[in-house]
Every structure is written in structure tokens, then in C-alpha cells.
Structure 1
Amino acid sequence: MAARIERLVTSGTFSLDGGTWEVENNVWLVGDEVQVLVIDPAHDAEAIAAAVGDRQVTALVCTHAHNDHVNAAPALADRTGAPILLHPDDLPLWQQTHPDRAPDGRLADGGLLTVAGTEVHVLHTPGHAPGAVSLHVPALGTVFTGDTLFAGGPGATGRSFSDFPTIIRSIRDRLLVLAPDTVVHTGHGDSTTIGAEAPHLPDWLARGH
């Protein structure tokens, strides 16, 4: 059976720089009836495990290490035996949430993951966080952007470890070059497409002035 995409929404809090906010996160599952890749294990390991069922979890892939995207990762890793993968540039953020548990593997720009016979390409897209990545799945016409690109614009860059010019470069040079009909599955909220967002790049650039 061909790989498919499943979405689970979990709720919890995001904390950084002394503030805490209520958030809802998209947890994405990519796979088939046998294998599944979990993207951004957020808040609720039990709910994610229930969505996985009896399938093999090949990896827990973190698009970045803000606590709301990784807080359920160790519990889910312990339950499933799957490795936690993170770009090393986000280790300082990871350690704020999990000082006693390191990720199991490193994501790198140009890296390739495979689940259910489907290739998942790792794109380093820093800006929202230094180690932020997006995950391009050409066979499914999809890119998972974490908090780098949303329906309506770039992710937030007003807090520690973030940078607006960097996120704009990531979006312009790594994401907007994908096919216009590529579906953008985000870390929060609704999905969009590359074609829907690309025309707004000049507006986003103007925000930085």
C-alpha cells in the first residue's frame, strides 16, 4: 500500500524566554499499514501512540527543538524504540526541555530518510530556530515545514535563537523553489501550498525594513 499522510492535533504549552502560551500542534504521520514516521511528537505520547497503533515507528523527526514540538519525544521513543532525530544546531533548545536525554541521531541538510518505500528529503531551513528543518516528500507532493512557513507567512522570529533575515532566506531559497502545487503541512494550523504563499514574498520582505 502506498504511503499516506495522517494528521493528529495535540494541545499543550510553548515556553521560551520566560513566557508560556497555550498552543495546538500538528503531529504528522507518514507511512503505510506497516511503517510510520512521526514528525514533531508534541505534548501527548499516549495519543500519538494510539494513532500509530501496531505499526513500526521508523523515526521521530523533530523539525526544530522548541519544547512544544519535542516534549513528548522521549516518552514516545521509550514506548516505540524509535530514534529521535534532530539537527545539531538545535541542541541548545533541546537541552532546555530535555537536559538529561540527548537525541539519538542527527538530521543534516540533504539527508534522506525512507519510510514505507517513500523518500523524505531533509532541508535545513533555519530562522525560526537555528536547526529548523523542512521535510520534502516528492512522491506525495508535500513538504512539512514545521514553524518555518505557515499559511500566511513566515514563522515567528521575535524570540531567542531566531532571526528574520535567515528565515526569509530559507523560505525563498529552499521552499519557494519547490513546485507550486506542493502542499505545505505546517507545525500549527491549516495547510497551504507553495503556489499560494510565493506571491507574498515581497510583503514579507517589507516587514523586515
Structure 2
Amino acid sequence: MTARIDKVITSGTFELDGGSWEVDNNVWVVGDDSECIVIDAGHEAAPILEAIGERALLAVVSTHAHNDHVNAAADVADAKRAPIWLHPDEAPLWQMTYPDRAPDGALAHGQIITVAGTDLQVLHTPGHAPGACCLYAPELGVVFSGDTLFNGGPGATGRSYSDYPTIVASISDKLLTLPSQTVVHTGHGDDTTIAAEAPHLQEWLDRGE
């Protein structure tokens, strides 16, 4: 039996560089009836914990450390006695939300996370943030893209710790090389597919922000 995917939408504010924006976040719970992981525990712990239920939580996996993707991570992890995993390059952003607490484990490119007999491969995709990562589950035919790739193009850059050429290179090298039918489960908004986004690579390159 392969893992199933549950989606929880939480709402709150994203804050960076003195700005504040109201956002809805996609929180992904991947597992079976006995165990799961949470990808990007943002805003509200209660609905995430409700989705987990009585299952064992193996880890809270953070694709990056913008506050809207991690500000419920500690409450969820502590409630289920689970670790929080994050790429080490996210330390400056993580410390904006958790100045007195470090993540419990480090994500690395190529790392395999196994839950409910299903492997998820960590892809380091910097650009939106220096330690941004995606999680590719070939058996499920999906990639969890965080804020690296959305329905309609790359994630936002132009704020601290982000870089447009870097995110386009990450998408080109790490995501658009996945099978075209791969479903992209994003950090905000609707799903897309690799096939739907790949034809736009040249216009993203030409944009050169």
C-alpha cells in the first residue's frame, strides 16, 4: 500500500522585510493509517493535528523557513513528539521565527525520506530561499514544490535571501527534468504539472529579473 496525500489549507500572514501579507498555505500530510509526515506546518496547528489524528508523526518537513511555512511547526512537532527537518541554509530565515530553537535535523539534496513504504527524494532548489527544497515521490507521481514552482511560474523573488536566476536554474535543472506527467503540489494555490509549466521556461529565462 502506498502513502496517501491529505491537504490542509491554513491562513495567516507572511512577514518579511517589514511587509505583511495575508496568505493561504497548502499543508500536505503524507502517509497511511499508522504513520505520516507533514510538509510545511504553517499558521495553525489545530487543523494540521486533526488531519494527523492518532497516527505517528515521523517528522515535520519544511520546504523552506519563511514564517508562513514554519510558524506552526513547533506546536505540531511538540504535540506529536516529532522532529522538525530543514535545510541548513535556511538558518537565517528560521531564526526570524524561532530565535531560541534549532531544527532537529538537516535536509540534504538526494536524501530519501520514507513514510508508509513510500520514498520521497529531497531536491535542493534554492532561489525563493537559499535552502529551499522540494520533495519528489516517484511512486505517487507528485512533487511537493513549496514556493519554488507554482501554477503559472516560479515562486517570488526580490526579497531578502532570494534570487531570480537561481530559482529559474533550480526549476530547469531539478524540476523540469522530472516526468512530464508529474503533479506539482504547491505551497499556495492550485496544483499544476511539469508538462503544463515546462513550455514556459524560455520566457522565464528571458524575463531575467
Task: Tell me the TM-score range normalised by the shorter chain.
Answer: over 0.9
- CA separation in 2, counterparts of 1:152 and 1:114? 30
Other-structure match for 1:207: 207
> In structure 2, the residue corresponding to 1:171 is in which secondary structure?
helix
**What are the within-5 Å matches in structure 2 for residues 1-209 of structure 1?**
1-208=1-208
- CA separation in 2, counterparts of 1:96 and 1:119? 31
Gaps of 5+ in 2: none
- CA separation in 1, counterparts of 2:7 and 2:77? 19
- CA separation in 2, counterparts of 1:198 and 1:20? 31
Please say if residues 149 and 155 of structure 1, whose CA atoms lie closer than 8 Å, have aligned partners that are also in contact: yes
Partner AA of 1:27 in structure 2: V
Shift of 1:65: 0.2
Q: Percent identity?
A: 66
Please say if residues 109 and 122 of structure 1, whose CA atoms lie closer than 8 Å, have aligned partners that are also in contact: yes
Shift of 1:115: 0.2
- CA separation in 2, counterparts of 1:113 and 1:90? 19
- CA separation in 2, counterparts of 1:12 and 1:178? 32
- CA separation in 1, counterparts of 2:38 and 2:75? 13
Deviation per residue, 1:67-96 (Å, 9 max, x gap): 000000111111001100000000100000
> In structure 2, the residue corresponding to 1:197 is in which secondary structure?
helix
Please say if residues 37 and 60 of structure 1, whose CA atoms lie closer than 8 Å, have aligned partners that are also in contact: yes
Backbone CA RMSD of aligned residues: 0.7
> In structure 2, the residue corresponding to 1:82 is in which secondary structure?
coil
> In structure 2, the residue corresponding to 1:140 is in which secondary structure?
coil
Please say if residues 64 and 131 of structure 1, whose CA atoms lie closer than 8 Å, have aligned partners that are also in contact: yes
Partner AA of 2:71 in structure 1: N
> In structure 2, the residue corresponding to 1:28 is in which secondary structure?
strand
Partner AA of 1:51 in structure 2: A
Shift of 1:206: 1.4
- CA separation in 1, counterparts of 2:113 and 2:2? 16
Please say if residues 74 and 101 of structure 1, whose CA atoms lie closer than 8 Å, have aligned partners that are also in contact: no
- CA separation in 2, counterparts of 1:6 and 1:206? 36
* TM value normalised by structure 1: 0.99
> In structure 2, the residue corresponding to 1:139 is in which secondary structure?
coil
- CA separation in 1, counterparts of 2:113 and 2:132? 16
- CA separation in 2, counterparts of 1:18 and 1:148? 22
Shift of 1:158: 1.1
Deviation per residue, 1:132-154 (Å, 9 max, x gap): 00000000000000000000000
Partner AA of 2:166 in structure 1: T
Shift of 1:14: 0.2
- CA separation in 1, counterparts of 2:115 and 2:23? 29
Shift of 1:2: 2.6
* TM value normalised by structure 2: 0.99
How many pairs were matched up? 209
